[in-house]
Amino acid sequence: MSSEIRTLEPKALWNKFADLNAIPRPSKKEERVIKFMKDFGERLGLETIEDEVGNVIIRKPATKGMEDRKPIVMQSHLDMVHQKNNDTVFDFDTQGIEMYIDGDWVKARGTTLGADNGLGVATIMAILESDAIAHPDLEALFTIDEETGMTGAMGLKGGLLKGEILLNLDTEEDNEIGVGCAGGIDITARGAYNPEPISIEGMKAYKIEVKGLQGGHSGMQIHEGLGNANKIMNRLLYAVIEDIKIAEIDGGSLRNAIPRESVSVVVFRADKEELLLNVLNSLSKTIKKELKTMEPDLEMVFTATDLPKTVMPFEAQEHILKALYAAHNGVYRMSPDIPDLVETSNNIARVVIKDGGIKVGCLTRSSVESSKMDLANALKSTFELAGCDVEFSGSYPGWAPNMDSAILKVMVPIYERLNNGEKPHVAACHAGLECGILGQNYPDMDMISFGPNIKGAHSPDERAQISSAQKYWEFVLEILEHIPQKN
């Protein structure tokens, strides 16, 4: 699979990406990729260290003639989001990603590709390995667990890095130069109920499936109007709330991925079957019409299934369905200061109801701390009114834009020169980059973020554009050659 990828230009970049994608690297399970990266640095004879939390730092001296330039840090994260289609047989813990070329795109077969942030990692590896690429003193920082908590960036101690400029390679639009990002907080609501046994006589059960949604990045794509499987499922169940008893719900997967699928099992009186199906089919047509532009493959399927042993009491069912209906999902506020920037949003990422337990997981993002906590408290209040206990965790700060950045002033004219006068899009993004966290312990470090075109990150539709990678690679080499001199 990787052989055709290795023929792409620039070969140095794509070969390192193929090497990396052969290594399983789920968040929280980065042992193998940490060893892979340490072995890589040591094989090159470069100073290589692993810090207390598992971040890997590789240091390479400046090339000849670049000793007078400011030292830099090039940074990307080692872990990747693991998502696959329901009908894809794949074990992320043991298998490497199966890649292929489709026109101008590199894709994976039924899974996420790992271009987020594997192309950034591969870029740095190619530069570390090269004897021909000019660069100043370089520290390569490979962080862990960016996708599920940013614990690598949080655990990186101050004073360990010596660089004055940080190049973060985790942006997904090749015409964008990132100067700021959103912070985030995980919100988890938990509840309990006493399961009720059901009488089998005169009862039927249906499995309700919401599937075929695109999914995607819960920060970068939250404004696109994509369907959220958890909200769609809740809308269906709410429409028949008086006539059903819920046995279970299982929707969504990762906190930072817009939910693509949800499945529930409901019980009802057999004489209500025709009425229920009429309501559900009618509503499903309405929802598909609403989402037809963004979600043409959306399906809502209702099929008879075996009766479960227990269901939720009606009161508990009513409380949680109403809370999920009221809970905000999507854009909460646009930035009043930066055009077209989502300031604050929420993703209702995970809903699990089964065997007496309720768990709802959300990821709230904002570039303004007070707005982040305002929405977090609104969600907390909503679920507490439904009788749930609500926990805040994993809070991380945003990255405040610095339009006076010295490296920004270097990169903008380089971009324009390489692209026939086209101006780059200098912007903050609604994703959770590690720059905000790293800036806490390195407040004087000049930071910037950029990268190649990557579409559909955090979903099995993830793809990396080949022509964009070539454009990005040339940009990287020019930036390294023009790092400012030391003061």
Model confidence pLDDT, tens digit, residues 175-189: 999 999 999 999 999
Place domain 2-181+399-481 in its CATH homologous superfamily.
Zn peptidases (3.40.630.10)
Secondary-structure percent of the chain, ordered helix, strand, coil, rounded to 5: 30, 30, 40
DSSP string, 94-110: T----EEEETTEEEESS
Q: Which helix (H) or strand (E) holds 377?
A: helix 369-385
Strand-pairing partners, residue 223, are: none
Place of tokens 């929420």: 346
User: Looking at residue 200, what is its pLDDT?
Assistant: 79
Residues assigned a catalytic role: 79, 146
Encoded tokens for 166: 């940080």
Q: Which tens digits make up the pLDDT trace of 347-367?
A: 999 999 999 999 999 999 999
pLDDT at position 403 over 90? no
Over range 41-45, report the average pLDDT. Answer: 98
Q: What is each CA distance from 372 to 141, 149, 184, 376, 436, in whole angstroms?
A: 28, 16, 7, 6, 15
Encoded tokens for 250: 């299982």
Give the ranges where 22-71 is alpha helix by DSSP (H). Answer: 31-43
Angle, CA 233 vertex, CA 227 and CA 234 arms, to 5°: 110
Q: How far apart, in whole angstroms, are the C-alpha atoms of residue 416 and residue 210? A: 45
pLDDT at position 149 over 90? no
φ/ψ region of 168 (left if φ > 0, alpha if ψ in -120 to 50, else beta) reads beta
Picking from 234-238, 292-296, 396-400, which range would have the lowest pLDDT averaged per residue? 396-400
The torsion angles phi and psi of 230, rounded to 5 degrees, stand at: -70, -40
Sheet containing 105-108: give its strands across. 99-102, 105-108, 463-465, 454-455
User: Looking at residue 451, what is its pLDDT?
Assistant: 98
Confidence (pTM): 0.77
Which DSSP symbol is given to 156?
P
CB-CB contact of 218 with 258 (8 Å): yes
Q: How far apart, in whole angstroms, are the C-alpha atoms of residue 242 and residue 239? A: 8
The chain-wide mean pLDDT, for the chain, equals: 96
User: Looking at residue 202, what is its pLDDT?
Assistant: 92
User: Looking at residue 148, what is its pLDDT?
Assistant: 87
User: Looking at residue 432, what is its pLDDT?
Assistant: 82
338 falls in which pLDDT band (50, 70, 90)? Answer: confident
70 falls in which pLDDT band (50, 70, 90)? Answer: very high
Record: fold of 185-396: Alpha-Beta Plaits (3.30.70)
| For helices 406-418 and 466-481, angle between their N-to-C axes, nearest 10 degrees | 130
pLDDT at position 1 over 60? no
Among 114, 61, 72, which residue's Cα sits nearest to residue 90?
Answer: 114
Per-domain boundaries in the chain: 2-181+399-481, 185-396
pLDDT at position 413 over 90? yes
Encoded tokens for 206: 């249906």
Place of tokens 């047989």: 89
pLDDT at position 109 over 70? yes
Among 72, 29, 38, 11, which residue's Cα sits nearest to residue 448?
Answer: 72
User: Looking at residue 176, what is its pLDDT?
Assistant: 95
DSSP string, 187-244: EEEEEE--PEE---TTEEEEEEEEE-----BTTTTTTS----HHHHHHHHHHHTGGG-
Q: Which tens digits make up the pLDDT trace of 317-332?
A: 999 999 999 999 999 9
DSSP string, 426-479: EEE-SS--THHHHHHH-TT-EEEE----EESTTSTT-EEEHHHHHHHHHHHHHH
Among 207, 254, 260, which residue's Cα sits nearest to residue 232?
Answer: 260
Over range 90-115, report the average pLDDT. Answer: 96
User: Looking at residue 275, what is its pLDDT?
Assistant: 95
User: Looking at residue 339, what is its pLDDT?
Assistant: 85
User: Looking at residue 385, what is its pLDDT?
Assistant: 98
CB-CB contact of 185 with 372 (8 Å): yes
User: Looking at residue 401, what is its pLDDT?
Assistant: 87
Helix (H, G, I), strand (E, B) or coil at 316: helix
Helix (H, G, I), strand (E, B) or coil at 142: strand
Over range 148-160, report the average pLDDT. Answer: 94
